[in-house]
Structure 1
Amino acid sequence: MTTKKSLMLQEVSETPERFRVHAAAHVNLYFNLAKQIRAFSPEYVYIVGRGTSDHAGVYAKYLIEVELGIPVSSAAPSVASIFGKSLDLKRALVIIISQSGRSPDVLAQAKAAKASGALCVALVNDEASPLADIADVFIPLLAGPEKAVAATKTYLCTLFSILNIVAHWKNDEKLLSLMTTLPTLMAQAQASKPQLHLDVLQNLRHCVVLGRGFGYAIAREISLKIKEICAIQAEAFSSAEFLHGPISLLNKQMTIIDISVVDESIVAHSEQIDEIKARGGKVCTLSFFDADTSPRFLPLLIMQRFYLDIEHIAQQMGCDPDNPVGLNKVTQTR
C-alpha cells in the first residue's frame, strides 16, 4: 500500500532541529527567568492547560516535585471562565501552556492568576498570542508552524522548555550540560527500530496505557494520540492505580501498552507489569534507555519514537493522521 508523507511525519521529524533553535534563542531568557523565580520564591506551582498542553503539565509536575521539592497542582480552567471565581495565587508560580494561546478559558485563567499576584510564565508556540501581553514571562516554543491537527513537535518542545526552566531554576550544572546532547538523542530515537506495530492495534476497540511517574505523564499523551489518530479508545493509568480496581478489566482480553521509563520507578512499575502479565494481559512495551544521559530525558525519547510509530500505523489502517475526523487544530473552549 502506497502512503503519502504526512504533515505529522514531517513535523515530528523536525524536533531535533527545533530543540537546537529553541536552545540557541533562549539562553538568556532561561537564565533571567531562573533568577526571577528564585527571587519570587514561589510556595507552589499552578499549571494551566488543556488537552496535550495539560499532559505536558503532568510531566512538569513530576519534574518540579522530584527535582525541586515544590508542590504542583493542575488548574481547572472552568473555575475562572464558567464559574467566575478567582483563586488566591499570590504565592504561586503559574505556568500557562498552550499551542495557540487563544482559548478563552486559558486566557481567563491567566488573567485571573496575574490579577491575584502570581508570577505568570507562558509557554506558547504562537508568538502573536494574547498571552504575550498577560504573562510576566512569555516563552515562544519555536516549534515552527504545526499544521497537522495532532500536536507532536509542539508537545515535545514544551517538555524541552520545562526541562530548561527546571534545570536553570535548580542551577543543576550536570542537567544543563546534558541538555546540549538532547537534540542528538532525539535524532537517535528517530533512527531506532519501531516499537509499536500494526498487529498490536489493528483489531482493537479498547486498550490501556500504563506508566509510573514520568511514564504515567507521557501515558496520558500516548492514549490521547491513539484515540485521536486511530479512533481506538485508550485509557491511561498509573500502573500502581491500575491495581486498585481497574485491573478487573483483565477478566476480559485486554491489550496493555506498557511505558517503561528506566528511572527510580522502574522496579515498582516492572513488578506491576509482571502481575498484569500473570493475569493474562497482552503487553506491548515502549521504552528507551541510554546509560549516559539523564533519566529525565527518557520520556521525550519514548515519545519521539511513539509519534513516528503511531503515524505509520494510522496510515496502514487507512486513517488520515493529519486530519482526524471531527477534530480541529485550535479548540475554543470557555
Structure 2
Amino acid sequence: MPITTPAAGSLMAAEIAEQPDVWRRLLAETRAADSDLARAADLIARYRPRFVQFVARGTSDHAALYGKYVAEIGLQLPCGLVSPSTMTAYGARPDLAGVLMIGVSQSGGSPDLVRSLEVARECGALTIAVTNKADSPLALAAAAHVDVRAGVERAVAATKSYTAQLLTLHLLFDRVRGGSGAAAAALPGLGEQLLAADDRVALLAQRYRFATRLVTTGRGYSYPTAREAALKLMETSYLSAQAFSGADLLHGPLAMIEPQVPVLAVVADGVGGEAMGHVLPRLAEQGADVFCVGSAAAVERASVGVALPAGASEELSPLLEILPFQQLAQHLAIARGGNPDAPRGLRKVTETL
C-alpha cells in the first residue's frame, strides 16, 4: 500500500484540538491523594521554601513564567527564572538552601536543564521536575517528578504540552496552598467552546498572510501568553515577532508600531486586562491593526479578535487565551505555503549546553 503523507498542519491541528481531553485526564489523574502531583505538593509544603526558581527553555520557559506569577501571587513567595549557563557554563555554585527549584520541560532531555537541577540539588535546593516523560533524565535528576500527561506530541511546535504544563503548575501550587483544584473543572468545556471558532480564526489568518513582523503584548498572567504566541508564529510562519508586556511596550517600543505592524493583544478579564486599558488607546493612536484575544468588551475595541468564553478565573485564563493563537499560527503557516508540523531547521528536542 502507498504511504500516505499527512496534510500540512494536520498533526498540529489534531494536538490543538486534543487539549480539552488532556486537561480532563490531568484533572482526573492528579486528584488522588497519592498522585505524583500530591506527593510533590506535600514535599513543597513540608519544605516551606523561602524562594522559588524555575529553569526551562523555549515554550516551557513561558510555562515557567506563568508559574512565577502563580507562585508570587498565590503563595506570596519571591520567584525567579534561572539562567542555566550560570551553573552549566560558568560553574556557579550558589547557596540554595531553602530554595525550591522547578525544572519545566516537555521532553525532560535538555542537558543544561538536567545539569541545572543536579547542581541545585547539590547546593541544597528542593528540586521538582515537571515533564511529559516520567523516565526522562530531568525527571530522574529531581527529588520529585510531576507528569503533565499530555501524551505523545508529534508536531514540532508544542501546543498541548504547553497548556498541560500551565494546568500542572496551577494544580501543584493550588494544592500547596490547600486548594482542591475545583476551579479548573470548567476548563475542558470552555476550551471546546473556544476551539469551535477554528473556521473564524482560519479566515482571520488570511489578514496577516503578507506580514513580515508583528508584536504581541499582554500583562499579568497573560504576559506568558503573549510570549508564547510570538514564539509559535516565529517557529511556524518564520515571522519576526516581538513580545512585550503592555507596560514595556509603552516605554519606547510603541514608536515602531504602525499600520503595517500588526499587534496581537491579550486583554482578558481581571487585573492584567484592566492594566491593558491604557495600551489599546495608544495603539489606536499609532494606527495599529490589533488582533485581540480577551473579553468581549476588549475585542470590540480592537480591529478584529476572538472573545473568550466566561467562566475561568484570571489565573486560569491563560489556558484558554493561547488556543486562538495556536490556531492562528497553524493557519497562517499554511496560508504562507509552509507546514507547521515540521518547521524548517527545528527538531522536537533541542539540546543546549
The one-letter code sitting in structure 1 at the alignment partner of 2:101 is V
Residues 32-181 of structure 1 aligned to structure 2 (within 5 Å): 32-172=39-179, 176-181=181-186
Q: Equivalents in 1 of 2:134, 2:182: separation in Å?
A: 28
User: Structure 2 vs 1, CA of residues 292 and 153 (structure 1 numbering), >3 Å: closer, same or farther?
Assistant: closer
Partner of 1:205: 212
Residues 1-334 of structure 1 aligned to structure 2 (within 5 Å): 4=8, 6-27=10-31, 28=33, 29=35, 30-172=37-179, 176-192=181-197, 194-195=200-201, 197-250=204-257, 253-287=260-294, 288-334=307-353
Instruction: Give the RMSD, CA atoms, in angstroms.
Output: 1.8
Deviation of 1:32 (Å): 3.2
- Count of matched residue pairs: 331
The one-letter code sitting in structure 2 at the alignment partner of 1:188 is Q
Tell which deviates more after alignment, 86-95 or 20-29.
Answer: 20-29
Cα-to-partner distance string for 1:247-268 (whole Å, 9 max, x where unaligned): 1113674211111121112222
Is the 2:216–2:263 contact (alpha carbons within 8 Å) kept by the matching residues of 1? Answer: yes
Q: Identity, % of aligned pairs?
A: 33
Q: Equivalents in 2 of 1:101, 1:292: separation in Å?
A: 33
Is the 2:98–2:125 contact (alpha carbons within 8 Å) kept by the matching residues of 1? Answer: yes
Cα-to-partner distance string for 1:4-60 (whole Å, 9 max, x where unaligned): 561111112111111122222222333333232121111111000001111111111
- Other structure's SS at 1:295 match: coil
Tell which deviates more after alignment, 258-267 or 161-170.
Answer: 258-267
Is the 2:259–2:289 contact (alpha carbons within 8 Å) kept by the matching residues of 1? Answer: no
Residue segments in structure 2 that go unaligned for 5+ positions in a row? 1-5, 295-306
Cα-to-partner distance string for 1:35-90 (whole Å, 9 max, x where unaligned): 32121111111000001111111111111112221111000011111112222212
Tell which deviates more after alignment, 96-105 or 127-136.
Answer: 127-136
Tell which deviates more after alignment, 240-249 or 278-287.
Answer: 278-287
Residue segments in structure 1 that go unaligned for 5+ positions in a row? none
TM-score norm. by structure 1 comes to 0.94
- Other structure's SS at 2:157 match: coil
Q: Equivalents in 2 of 1:325, 1:97: separation in Å?
A: 25
Q: Equivalents in 2 of 1:281, 1:126: separation in Å?
A: 42
Cα-to-partner distance string for 1:110-160 (whole Å, 9 max, x where unaligned): 101111111111011122201232211111111111111101111110001
Q: Equivalents in 1 of 2:98, 2:326: separation in Å?
A: 37
Q: Equivalents in 2 of 1:307, 1:279: separation in Å?
A: 26
User: Structure 2 vs 1, CA of residues 79 and 271 (structure 1 numbering), >3 Å: closer, same or farther?
Assistant: same
- Other structure's SS at 1:265 match: helix
Q: Equivalents in 1 of 2:309, 2:52: separation in Å?
A: 30
Q: Equivalents in 2 of 1:202, 1:267: separation in Å?
A: 31
Tell which deviates more after alignment, 44-53 or 255-264.
Answer: 255-264
Q: Equivalents in 1 of 2:101, 2:224: separation in Å?
A: 19
- Other structure's SS at 1:123 match: strand
The one-letter code sitting in structure 1 at the alignment partner of 2:182 is S
Deviation of 1:185 (Å): 1.7
Q: Equivalents in 1 of 2:216, 2:264: separation in Å?
A: 5
Q: Equivalents in 2 of 1:282, 1:14: separation in Å?
A: 31
Is the 2:206–2:335 contact (alpha carbons within 8 Å) kept by the matching residues of 1? Answer: no
- Other structure's SS at 1:89 match: coil
Is the 1:262–1:289 contact (alpha carbons within 8 Å) kept by the matching residues of 2? Answer: no
Tell which deviates more after alignment, 176-185 or 46-55.
Answer: 176-185
Q: Equivalents in 1 of 2:110, 2:311: separation in Å?
A: 40
Q: Equivalents in 2 of 1:25, 1:117: separation in Å?
A: 30
Is the 1:45–1:92 contact (alpha carbons within 8 Å) kept by the matching residues of 2? Answer: yes
Is the 1:189–1:302 contact (alpha carbons within 8 Å) kept by the matching residues of 2? Answer: no
Q: Equivalents in 2 of 1:199, 1:141: separation in Å?
A: 34
TM-score norm. by structure 2 comes to 0.89
Deviation of 1:309 (Å): 2.7
Q: Equivalents in 2 of 1:252, 1:285: separation in Å?
A: 15
Cα-to-partner distance string for 1:269-314 (whole Å, 9 max, x where unaligned): 0221111111222211122444433122211111123212321222
- Other structure's SS at 1:200 match: helix
